[in-house]
């Protein structure tokens, strides 16, 4: 959690009314960080998590193994794919991966909720316990 906060401070450049798809809170990097965190937490009990390195399959595995709610993992995977598609489209137009803050509002809320549940204040729970 602290590492991700440092990354946000260094990479995110808040722009009023704009959303940096990769670096702002609730964006692509938060999903990638959640997936990496999950692998580090759960791979010792579920070595199959080390089979693949892509976020989509890992999220599906988290759901299949009961480590995270399946619906949440599907929604996170969909958000990840939507973010990537938009970034690719913008890159092809030689534009930065920054959009109106109203775009991806629901995806950002979903990522934030998953983040809070898994990595929120873990002084009162073990963050590596399966998130239900």
- Residue 73: both structure tokens together: 């993992």
Q: How many helices (H) and strands (E) does the chain have?
A: 5, 2
Q: What is the pTM of this model?
A: 0.84
- pLDDT tens for each residue of 47-86: 999 999 999 999 999 999 999 999 999 999 999 999 999 9
Q: Which of 35, 12, 36, 9 is nearest to 22 (CA)?
A: 12
Q: Looking at the predicted structure, is the pLDDT value of residue 45 above 60?
A: yes
Per-residue tokens: 79: 């958000």
CATH of 2-119, one of 1.10.150.110, 1.20.120.330, 1.20.140.160, 3.40.50.720: 1.20.120.330
Angle among Cα 55, 57, 62 to the nearest 5 degrees reads 90
Q: Is the pLDDT of residue 27 over 80?
A: yes
Q: Which of 66, 64, 65, 62 is nearest to 31 (CA)?
A: 62
């Amino acid at each position: 959690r602290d590492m991700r906060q440092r990354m946000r401070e260094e990479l995110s450049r808040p722009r009023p009314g704009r959303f940096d798809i990769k670096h702002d809170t609730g964006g692509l990097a938060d999903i990638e960080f959640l997936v990496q965190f999950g692998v580090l937490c759960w791979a010792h009990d579920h070595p199959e998590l080390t089979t693949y390195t892509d976020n989509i399959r890992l999220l599906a595995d988290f759901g299949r193994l009961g480590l995270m709610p399946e619906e949440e993992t599907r929604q996170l995977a969909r958000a990840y794919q939507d973010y990537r598609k938009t970034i690719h489209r913008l890159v092809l137009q030689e534009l930065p991966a920054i959009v109106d803050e109203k775009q991806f509002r629901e995806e950002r809320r979903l990522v934030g909720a998953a983040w809070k549940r898994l990595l929120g204040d873990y002084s009162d729970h073990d963050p590596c316990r399966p998130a239900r």
